[in-house]
Amino acid sequence: MSQGFGPLHPGAQEPAGERLARTELGAEEQKRLYHFMKLTRRVEARLSNLYRQGKVVGGLYSGHGQEATSVGSAFALGPQDFMGPIIRNLGSMLVRGVQPREVMTQYMARGTSPTGGKDGNTHFGDLERGLVAPISMLGALIPVMAGVALAGRMQGKDLVALTYIGDGGTSTGDFHEGLNFAAVQDLPLVVIAEHNGYAYSTPTSKQMKVDNIAAKAVGYGIAGEIIDGNDVLAVYEATRRAVERARGGGGPTLIEAKTFRMKGHAEHDDAGYVPPELFEEWAEKDPIERFERHLLGQELATEEELAAITAEIETGLDAEVDFALESPFPPPERALEGVYE
């Protein structure tokens, strides 16, 4: 592994490079994974265009290059499970049933958005779909998702709570407090730490002294695992194992997915602080292209099938963008509504 994250801790699996992880998933399910990764990237590409047209209100945050971590992990959840995504997990939300128009109307602050214009970007959720909205204070979701898991246990529901954190977010007190509390309570919580090299402009070397986030699991007495975050099958399989462990009473798991943020922190950030060779290196490991080669090489899909999936996504997105653009802004007085339940 040469991406500058330092050595893996003993016993960890080297990321497999070109060959993807073994999986029980069949061709149809793997094509679903492909669909969601491609959909994620295309929604973000459309949003990027809309941003340049001045249609996006506020910042635009991309998960470009990290589609495998979002999609693979969310795909391992059951319908009764809950998920708390953070800003680069659009892919997870799409797997969970979020429609592109919901994201677009949010980013464009329209009255038809899931929050009615009260909040922006991917800051929305829907408990019916097992989706808890994030807040911008990183780490805060970890105790909250531990609480979701706690409630599930009290209510006799067989639910697992999954949430995400970046390498930067692991420096917060809430990351520690939440994992520690979940650990002592043996709560069914899975935390995916997306180690993408940078927290805004700060490289991981200035964030933590250890090379591997998963090493922190030892301090909480929980399971930890390092995976190749650009291999959607590895992400899926590791999450599936963690979910099974959680469901079986085995407590929380911290999964570290090694990946890379292929854009700046947000659309306005040109990421000039990232050495260009890192982008080049990681472009070769692009999770979607790697998965395409896998699907074709293993004869799980044909080029025509993959092209058809992409074409269908594009057509669908035309309608979603039109819907968002035609949606009105909310009436200003609606700002007064809903402070209290």
- Residue 118 binds other proteins (CB under 8 A): yes
The overall longest dimension of the chain from CA atoms, in Å, is 59
Minimum separation from the CB atom of position 285 to other proteins (A): 35
273 is catalytic: yes
Residue given tokens 């949430």 in the structure block: 163
Q: Which residue out of 261, 268, 290, 334 is catalytically annotated?
A: 261
Q: Which residue out of 265, 290, 293, 294 is catalytically annotated?
A: 265
- Residue 332 binds other proteins (CB under 8 A): no
Minimum separation from the CB atom of position 337 to other proteins (A): 8
Minimum separation from the CB atom of position 172 to other proteins (A): 9
What is the residue type of 103? V
d(CA 163, CA 132): 9
CB-side exposure of 193: number of CA atoms within 13 Å? 30
d(CA 298, CA 21): 13
Task: Using the minimum distance from each CB to other proteins, give the nearer residue, 185 or 310.
Answer: 185
Environment class of 208 (CB within 10 Å of its CB; exposed 0-12, middle 13-18, buried 19+) = middle
- Residue 338 binds other proteins (CB under 8 A): yes
265 is catalytic: yes
d(CA 31, CA 22): 15
Long-range contacts of 238-241 (CB under 8 A, 24+ apart): 239/72, 239/73, 239/75, 239/76, 239/77, 239/162, 239/190, 239/192, 240/76
Task: Using the minimum distance from each CB to other proteins, give the nearer residue, 125 or 330.
Answer: 125
Task: Using the minimum distance from each CB to other proteins, give the nearer residue, 333 or 339.
Answer: 339
Considering only 108, 109, 149, 192, the residue that binds other proteins (CB under 8 A) is 149
Considering only 145, 193, 274, 288, the residue that binds other proteins (CB under 8 A) is 145
Task: Using the minimum distance from each CB to other proteins, give the nearer residue, 20 or 83.
Answer: 83
What is the residue type of 30? Q
Task: Using the minimum distance from each CB to other proteins, give the nearer residue, 64 or 153.
Answer: 153
Minimum separation from the CB atom of position 73 to other proteins (A): 19
Q: Which residue out of 129, 200, 273, 293 is catalytically annotated?
A: 273
261 is catalytic: yes
- Residue 108 binds other proteins (CB under 8 A): no
Q: Which x/- pattern, by CB under 8 A, does the window 174-203 give for other proteins? A: x--xx-xx--xx------------------
Task: Using the minimum distance from each CB to other proteins, give the nearer residue, 154 or 268.
Answer: 154
- Residue 146 binds other proteins (CB under 8 A): yes
CB-side exposure of 94: number of CA atoms within 13 Å? 30
User: What residues have CB less than 8 Å from 233, skipping those under 6 apart?
Assistant: 20, 21, 22, 23, 25, 30, 33, 72, 291, 294
Residue 335, SS3 per DSSP: helix
Minimum separation from the CB atom of position 63 to other proteins (A): 20
Backbone angles phi, psi at 7, to 5 degrees: -70, 155
- Residue 165 binds other proteins (CB under 8 A): no
Cβ atoms within 10 Å of 226's Cβ, excluding its own: 28
- Residue 109 binds other proteins (CB under 8 A): no
- CA 176-254-205 angle, 5° bins: 70
Q: Catalytic site residues?
A: 261, 265, 273
Where do contacts with other proteins occur on this chain (CB under 8 A)? 114-115, 118-119, 123-127, 132-133, 135-137, 140, 142-155, 161, 173-174, 177-178, 180-181, 184-185, 338-341
